[in-house]
Structure 1
């Protein structure tokens, strides 16, 4: 419990608004809940949220110490009161989360609070599985990233050992990531490999594809196979042998079959015709073949995790109805 004394400059304010300004890390919904539960008292008694404070009033705040800290990049997760996560799999070491399109994985220039990592850290904090005050340096972290407008499975490590192992397995190509996408056009051949070099323009946040090595270019290899075609659209499965920024999007565009809804590498006229503003791309399957020792994560060897609901697949390539 902590106490705050109201000075003359704070007098006249509503209780809830004063506490909100004093504790910016405390989520508004949780603040209102604490007032209802009388965990925020004025002069030793419960008070309503619209109580007007007077000079000399003493507030008793029965609130976790973390909420009294100053906001920073490390503790902003505390402002997430109700984490929104679609959990595909969870154990004591990791989380597999189905990220929805439109959500950023980490904070960027457009979003600081509503990020996947903040929701994950808030979830683990509220489950009492993790608290930054218990750790010297470690915080739950993501092992892979997905573009804002792409959906799919993201791996989150709950401890440093898991983070080290998964990062090593990804680096050594021992984690298989498979994507579903819808292309404008029919890939030829229907199954194949796209290999080249990608060069990112940081200013434009756009990637260019080259068939031959280029200074600064990174090797990119994508396997694809066409699953179904209907009219001008094809449902294609892609597997990454390398993990580069925008790899599938720019690679499929290179062979003349850009992704439906892709505003950077796609066809604007087709996107507008179908009313799509996000690329039809989903990291729908994750496999852990682990051909070499995985230490504490050996129990995951051979496991495959799949997202059942891929919205654009069900929209454009629905499964036939069973009689």
Structure 2
């Protein structure tokens, strides 16, 4: 038997979802059965699948050890990540990090251990704000993600309540996200909203763009404004009105203005000799516009946060 005292970060979850986190190898059907026959209890009593846990509750699991993570599994795997972290803003609930191009946000199929979330967890652990041994089901987590080769602001939640609220605000488009990018050519008009339909190929990790709806395609809306120009390139400020995979890269290329450094939606020939290893795209600014939906984050309403330096803006001396 293992017992789990419910803390603030565990509270608010359904019992079955909590159990899946602490006993990830327990099959769903067996989980339901164990709740029904009282091998999973809350405060010593029978509970339901959808029982909402509160701080101070005690969850008791009378199940085999094989369903729990191995004891030798290190909860400090994030110590393999580097310490380098560029913090745009931080308070007791969240942290805004400026991710460098080339850094993955989470461990991917490559097995890379130096990730943005690893760096954030290491930082919070070393400053005493995160203790894995004191947590049952929560660890600091990212609320949004950006591509490996894109730089810019990523939001990390320090507690479960913040993770829940920020995820909801992002879904409801109540956190405004602005990008800067460099494109080949000079867009006409200088300011517009692109509306297309994007179809993602999961195997090829590539997005196709269409003018008309088709099965499986999702609406994508991107607002852009030309901020500066030179003889070959334009610097655009872009606001995402929807959040689709590779949205800016795919839509701008489809419009005839591929991003500098982007060989997936542009071409290698076009980029030859430019010296750019990554696409010139940066999530440089966010603004909280959540009103009452912000809940305990209401102090952020109306506030905007911006990175100090975007690597490619020096191409445009007048900017």
TM-score for the superposition, normalised by structure 2? 0.76
Aligned to 1:192: 192
| Alpha-carbon separation, structure 2, partners of 1:279 and 1:129 | 35
| Alpha-carbon separation, structure 2, partners of 1:183 and 1:91 | 35
Cα distance change on mapping 1:71 and 1:313 into 2, 3 Å: farther
Aligned to 2:294: 294
Q: Does the residue aligned with 1:165 lie in a helix, a strand or coil?
A: helix
Aligned to 1:166: 166
Deviation at 1:319, TM superposition (A): 4.2
Aligned to 1:181: 181
Deviation at 1:71, TM superposition (A): 4.4
Aligned to 2:11: none
| Alpha-carbon separation, structure 2, partners of 1:283 and 1:293 | 23
| Alpha-carbon separation, structure 2, partners of 1:242 and 1:291 | 20
| Alpha-carbon separation, structure 2, partners of 1:196 and 1:277 | 28
Cα distance change on mapping 1:130 and 1:197 into 2, 3 Å: same
| Alpha-carbon separation, structure 1, partners of 2:232 and 2:256 | 12
Aligned to 2:80: 79
Q: Does the residue aligned with 2:189 lie in a helix, a strand or coil?
A: coil
Aligned to 2:72: 70
Number of matched residues?
Answer: 250
Map 1:113-124 to 2 at 5 A.
113-124=113-124
Deviation at 1:83, TM superposition (A): 1.5
- The more displaced of 264-273 and 166-175 is 264-273
Aligned to 2:240: 240
| Alpha-carbon separation, structure 2, partners of 1:79 and 1:242 | 35
| Alpha-carbon separation, structure 2, partners of 1:264 and 1:136 | 41
Map 1:69-218 to 2 at 5 A.
70-71=72-73, 75-80=76-81, 82-218=82-218
Aligned to 1:273: 273
Q: Does the residue aligned with 1:193 lie in a helix, a strand or coil?
A: strand
Deviation at 1:267, TM superposition (A): 2.8
Deviation at 1:109, TM superposition (A): 1.4
Unaligned runs of 5+ in 2: 1-70
Q: Does the residue aligned with 1:273 lie in a helix, a strand or coil?
A: coil
1:106-134: CA deviations, max 9, x gaps? 01112431000001011111111111111
Deviation at 1:196, TM superposition (A): 1.2
1:264 aligns with 2:260: no
Deviation at 1:268, TM superposition (A): 1.8
| Alpha-carbon separation, structure 2, partners of 1:112 and 1:238 | 30
1:134-169: CA deviations, max 9, x gaps? 111011000000100000000000000000110111
| Alpha-carbon separation, structure 2, partners of 1:71 and 1:226 | 51
Unaligned runs of 5+ in 1: 1-68
1:162-191: CA deviations, max 9, x gaps? 001101111111000000000001111110
1:62-83: CA deviations, max 9, x gaps? xxxxxxx6346x5420333x51
TM-score for the superposition, normalised by structure 1? 0.75
| Alpha-carbon separation, structure 1, partners of 2:106 and 2:97 | 14
Q: Does the residue aligned with 1:257 lie in a helix, a strand or coil?
A: coil
Q: Does the residue aligned with 1:182 lie in a helix, a strand or coil?
A: strand
| Alpha-carbon separation, structure 2, partners of 1:106 and 1:304 | 25
Aligned to 2:317: 318
**Over aligned residue pairs, what C-alpha RMSD do you find?**
1.6
